Amino acid sequence: MLGVYPWRCHSCHTRFHARLMPLSDTFHAHCPICGNLELKRISSEHVNSPLGFLWRLLRVPAFRCEPCRYKYFSILPMRELQPEDEAVHVSSAD
């Protein structure tokens, strides 16, 4: 319920509890399958879901996760890129 899961260290086999992602990132849109935060906004017509017609009517944004290619609707806002993240994207595009 709190998003804290049991883990085990692969090197020393110590058990501990931790979140999957920082608490601040849980309030931003992220892929429900892999947790990726770098999403692409897409047209809502490309998302097939049982309540898709309702989300389109309410104009809820649609997203696509690049690594796992999952398409979904989310009412959470996208995470804004930090200046160091933008520099990485610009340099990798060259």
Average pLDDT, the chain: 78
Radius of gyration of the chain (CA): 17
Residue 19 confidence (pLDDT) above 80:
no
Q: Model pTM greater than 0.85? A: no
CB neighbours of residue 18 within 10 Å: 10
pLDDT digits (tens, 9 = 90+) for 27-60: 778 888 877 888 888 998 888 888 888 989 999 9
Percentage of the chain lying above the pLDDT 70 cut: 73
pLDDT of residue 31: 82
Three-state DSSP class for residue 46: helix
Count, in order, helices (H) and strands (E) of the chain. 2, 5
| φ/ψ (deg, to 5) at 80 | -80, 140
Q: Considering only CA atoms, which of 12, 29, 26, 20 is closest in space to residue 65?
A: 29
